[in-house]
Amino acid sequence: MISDKLKRIAVNICRLVLAVTFILSGFVKAVDPLGTQYKIEDYLQAMGLTSLTGPMGSWGALAVAVVLAAVEFCIGIFLLFAIRRRLSSRLALVIMAVMTPLTLWLALANPISDCGCFGDAIVLTNWQTLWKNVVLLAAAVVVAKWPLQMVRFIGESSQWIVINYSAVFILAIAGWSLYDRPQFDFRPYHVGSDLRTGWNKMMDGEESPYTDFFIERMDDGEDITEQVLGNEGYTFLLVAPYLEKADDSQLDLINQVYEYAQDYGYPFYGLTASGEKAVSQWRDLTGAEYPFCQTDGTTLKTIIRSNPGLLLLKDGVVIGKWSHNMLPNEYDLDKPLEESELGHLSGDSVARRILALLMWFVLPLVLLSIADRLWAWTKWIRKRKDNYNSINKKEEKMRKKIVAGNWKMNMNLQDGIALAKELNETLKAEKPNCGVVICTPFIHLASIAQFLDQNIIGLGAENCADKEKGAFTGEVSAEMVKSTGAQYVILGHSERREYYKETPEILKEKVLLAQKNDLKVIFCIGESLAEREAGKQNEVVKAELEGSVFNLSEEDFRKIVIAYEPIWAIGTGKTATAEQAEEIHAYIRSIIAEKYGQAVADDTTILYGGSCKASNAPELFAKPDIDGGLIGGASLKAADFKGIIDAFK
């Protein structure tokens, strides 16, 4: 029996080998889709299956080349990141099960010189390819047998990003390489190649990739290869493997380059494998006056993946290559080559292109993987913490969640009754998941109390006097509030503190009288903008609690609901962030714990009272130390108020 540890090691080694191979194979094919097309056509011709491309001909082979490149690349990425593990491992196995017998036939029959599995980047003999595929087939069998042993580098929730990004990236690479030219040129005619030196080596009998390279005049059959490569200056070569299939959309630019060469005395030759008839038709179509030379068609297709394409030589060295879509224009041809950027080797080195590849594809995926793993790790930590807390707090009493409306000095009697009735009917029909309280002006209390279902909506006043009774014109005592049928009273609101100069001592008396008359106190605390900016918010709320409610016994304090209201956020449209609100709520709970113990602190309801709306209530109420809200303006419309209440759903 193979142990799970050995299985995992074997599967992940095989998975990485497959991933790297598939990614490299798919990428080099996508970088050179025309080269892949030519190789597919070679395969079909060798097998006598050229009809398989159908009426689309070479376009069909090109489409197959692009799809094959994208599929190989994406399977490699999926294996690397362990995405869709069962599917990706089975696809890899199917591909290797098809390719291995095919390469066995190639090795035995040798119909083509190399399989082209890595394009021109890594050229393998047919036998080398066969043994490579045997190893990959074995690896694919291992991975397909135990796909779930693959270690994930990215979570399932983020896999769609990698899937789509990889597909878009590889198709974009293939598309751009078709429009321009391969971004990585592995052929012996790449920019920087010294054709003169390589050709001379071949002429001296040394091994060279330029065996089939020749340039022969069509008019007299003279071989001018040595003349062209030996030229000490600049030479333009228009490369059109087959003029019958050449793209004629840029004829003006081609003629413009030829006229430029004529003006500055640079030789200009057209190279093609087509015959006299095709050349004549091209001249009639384009008005071309430049001389045409005969060259091997396969060599021309190797020189540049464009029909036509343009080559610029200097001293026999390739210093520029352009597809027909990217030919130099009049702005590039405004000065002699000696003074122009065109006349010098491009600074766009292979190293820069590799860096661009890393920046555009590899780096984003690495960062995504790191972020995903960090997120998974923090989720694991949170889950463990939550499990620990749930185990240790199973017996803990849940504190009450409340949404309380403070109507302030709004609504006449009739409007207030109408609003209360609407809320009453709405919440009776759809029971809320939290306690609901409406605190109204004094004139509404008795009328609303007659019909309000206080099992669903609690009724409260916005204030009460600090005296029991007597000659205090305009004041309403706690006893009077209670007699209307109200259950709650708001005390210490910032507007009362600021406009009516209510001090901690006054509020202490109000709290005592409210509790004496069995009213539940919603006690408000909070800092001003200046105090917040000075970093004194903790000092302020602690002093307000100590000045008015920390004198209570534990039993009486348990009846208090605290409402934290950042004064700078009330009626201004500003809102403390959920993190800011949670931080101060947690601090308030901590000083309650210092005074009365953790059990009391955990049971104390602390509301947030700073411009809370339906849009931000879910985020605020999701915080562990925020138990609801004291709502101002948003409580004056039933729909708005219910939107906030629904945040607890």
Query: Which residues, other chains included, contact 498 with Cβ-Cβ below 8 Å and sequence gap of 6+?
Result: 567
Q: Has 444 been annotated as catalytic?
A: no
Strands 402-406 and 488-491: unpaired
* Residue 266 near residue 234 (C-beta atoms within 8 A): yes
Chain position carrying tokens 């200046």: 530
Proportion of the chain in helix, strand, coil states, percent, rounded to 5: 55, 10, 35
Give which of 308, 76, 84, 311 is closest to 195, Cα–Cα: 311
d(CA 68, CA 552) in angstroms, rounded, equals 78
Catalytic residue among 462, 495, 544, 565: 565
**Cβ contact 36:65 at 8 Å:** yes
Half-sphere exposure of 1 (CA within 13 A, CB side): 3
Which position among 444, 493, 495, 531 bears the catalytic label? 493
Kindly give the residue spans of alpha helices, DSSP state H, lying in 535-623. Answer: 537-548, 554-557, 578-596, 598-603, 617-621
Per DSSP, the three-state class of 615 is: coil
Q: Is the peptide bond before 308 cis (omega within 30 degrees of 0)?
A: yes
Tell me how crowded residue 631 is: count the other CB atoms within 10 A of its CB: 28
As a three-state string, the secondary structure of 79-134 is HHHCCCHHHHHHHHHHHHHHHHHHHHHHHHHCCCCCCCCCCCCCCCCHHHHHHHHH
**3-state SS track over 523-558:** EEECCCHHHHHCCCHHHHHHHHHHHHCCCCCHHHHC
Asked about 565 being catalytic, the answer comes back as: yes
Whether the Cβ atoms of residue 369 and residue 81 lie closer than 8 Å to each other:
yes
Residues catalogued as catalytic: 493, 565
